[in-house]
Amino acid sequence: MAWDRQELKNWIKDRRLLDRDKDDGRLPDDFIHTAINDALRDVADRCDMLGETRTMPLKAGQWEYPMPDDINDIRSVWFVDTNGTRIPVTYLSNSKFTAWRDPDDDQSTQPSYFTYPAFQGEVLSFRANAPDLSDYVPQSWVTTASIRTAIDSGINFGLTLSGKRIEPGMILVNITDGSIGYVEVVDITTNKSSGTATAGTNTNTLVASAEDFVSDGVAVGDIICTPSTGVVTGYAFVKEVTNLTTLVYEGFQSSGTALRFEPTDTIKVGVATEIRLSEATPHPGLRDGADNTFDVGAVKATITGTTFTNTTATGSDTSGAESGDIAIASGGSHGLVSGVDDNELTVDRWIGGLPSAGESVVARVCDKYQVQTDFRIERVMKIGPTPSTSDTTGSESLEILCNTVPRFPVQDDDPIEIPQKFERPIRACLMWRAAERAGDDQNSVDKLEAKYDAIVRRYQGDIYETPLDEPMSAWSNRHRGARMRERRFEDSRGIPWDITSVS
């Protein structure tokens, strides 16, 4: 019989005396599918299965790295040097990792220890359109100084890698000064279109009969704000440009009580480049930082007569610019300066897209920020010392061996990723999870959980057992204790063996 979802579904229905061909009202197929997924996830986690190697690029100054949702546990971490040698990175408990450490001063080209997991809000990666590989970035820099609004001329807050929309109440972290604030609304620096909503505007459609959204260049991922001037009180995301005068929108958010755009609302449409922070107590604007502002320093250098590549700006004299500055082109794109020559700046990437030839470039010191959810759902691996250099594009020198979450079957004939030798604990877990879903009495559910727990213990660590064709190790099988000398030629069970015959 195939080891697939259908087999497990038939088995649980048989055990509960249900008709295989019918959707039972108390334990419908949707409940069974969820219970199967729960069982696969639990057994894979308890038995340390589905080991997989992942790689990750190091970034200068970054010592916290969010981990993907499909990782259950991290087994081992290595640093891959320029020769391709995998150098072990030592695990430390969270407390030992943190004790006596200053991440800003403790820096090296090679990390040597890590801890996992720490938890934080999920960091949103926003559209950066940075050639050639950085479509989205989790962190960026403000390009205009402000007290309570993060203004980034190169980013698009309307598009995220995960599809999660930016909402009021999310947390904005000013990484440079350590302050935080809470999102109130997003806003537009330069409008593509503005006007008034007219008849036909409803919960997911905006109609502005006097506008031409197509000619204005409105696109999916732009935002719609109301009112068109002054402080924004409501916004939504463009999902579709239906015709010249009509936009389909989603994710409407309001700082007040509004639930949608209304006819007669004044509106503006464009790329979201600003995040305004809440003024509500107890956390108005930025708080808990060194100065609680979004700082942008004075111009240190101005480069004109420019030409650009994905990582350079070449033009007039660059005197005054330094590594660590932010190079900001007049069109809004910007990049972190990593090298300065007489007439050329090297940057990591151009957030906002490749500037056009002839755009002027200024070098400034700017605050760095990120936006994360208010729920702490993202697991983070911390490494030390803090990397002092970044991996080049396409290079990933951190290698991680991890246990991953199994892929869950979607169709009944989809195979089960976990080997069939673990069939017994999976079925025991499925019985328990299905009973929970069906609402069985708690005493029965508890007994099934205890039975599963007893069964799965016999399989835990199974993947680490020495293969049957491997020779016995003399040193790992020596009997410890007061009588060790008398038993030096016996294994831990008292079975004699000849040390000279062990390879």
Instruction: Assign residue 349 the CATH number of its domain.
Output: 2.40.30.20
The last residue of a domain, from among 419, 437, 457: 457
Say which amino acid occupies 294.
F
Residue 292 lies inside a defined structural domain of this protein:
no
Residue 209 lies inside a defined structural domain of this protein:
yes
Same domain? For 183 and 203 the reply is yes
Q: What is the pLDDT of residue 123?
A: 92
Q: What is the pLDDT along the chain (503 residues), one digit of tens a residue?
A: 689 999 999 999 999 999 999 998 889 999 999 999 999 999 999 998 888 999 999 988 899 999 988 998 899 999 999 999 999 999 999 999 999 999 888 999 999 999 999 998 999 999 999 998 789 999 999 999 999 999 999 999 999 999 999 999 999 999 999 999 999 999 999 999 999 999 999 999 999 999 999 999 999 999 999 999 999 999 999 999 999 999 999 999 998 889 999 999 999 999 999 999 998 877 789 999 989 999 999 999 999 999 999 999 999 999 999 999 999 999 999 999 999 999 999 999 999 999 999 999 999 999 999 999 988 888 999 999 999 998 987 889 999 999 999 999 999 999 999 999 999 999 999 999 999 999 999 999 999 999 999 999 998 865 555 555 555 554 444 444 444 444 444 444 455 444 444 43
Distance CA 401, CA 51 (A): 7
Helix, strand or coil, per DSSP, at residue 284: coil
Q: What is the pLDDT of residue 133?
A: 79
Same domain? For 273 and 130 the reply is yes
Same domain? For 205 and 189 the reply is yes
Same domain? For 202 and 152 the reply is yes
Residue 196 lies inside a defined structural domain of this protein:
yes
Same domain? For 133 and 269 the reply is yes
Q: What is the pLDDT of residue 493?
A: 47
Same domain? For 177 and 252 the reply is yes
**Backbone φ, ψ for residue 13 (5° rounding):** -65, -40
Same domain? For 393 and 439 the reply is no
Residue 347 lies inside a defined structural domain of this protein:
yes
Residue 485 lies inside a defined structural domain of this protein:
no
Spatial CA neighbour of 385 closest among 85, 94, 75, 102: 102
Same domain? For 318 and 393 the reply is no
The last residue of a domain, from among 261, 277, 293: 277
Residue 17 lies inside a defined structural domain of this protein:
yes
Q: What is the pLDDT of residue 483?
A: 44
The interaxial angle of helices 423-438 and 29-46, nearest 10 deg, is: 130
Residue 437 lies inside a defined structural domain of this protein:
yes
The last residue of a domain, from among 277, 293, 314: 277
- What is the full DSSP assignment across 328-371? EETTS-EEEEEEEETTEEEES--BTSPPPTT--EEEE-B-EEEE
Same domain? For 330 and 413 the reply is no
Same domain? For 231 and 185 the reply is yes
Distance CA 378, CA 119 (A): 6
Work out how many domains the chain is built from and give that number. 4
pTM of the model: 0.76
Q: Which domain holds residue 72?
A: 51-121+376-404
Distance CA 341, CA 311 (A): 13
Same domain? For 24 and 117 the reply is no
Same domain? For 340 and 382 the reply is no
Residue 462 lies inside a defined structural domain of this protein:
no
The residue assigned the tokens 């000398």 is 485
Spatial CA neighbour of 59 closest among 159, 171, 139, 174: 139
Q: What is the pLDDT of residue 72?
A: 86
Q: What is the pLDDT of residue 503?
A: 39
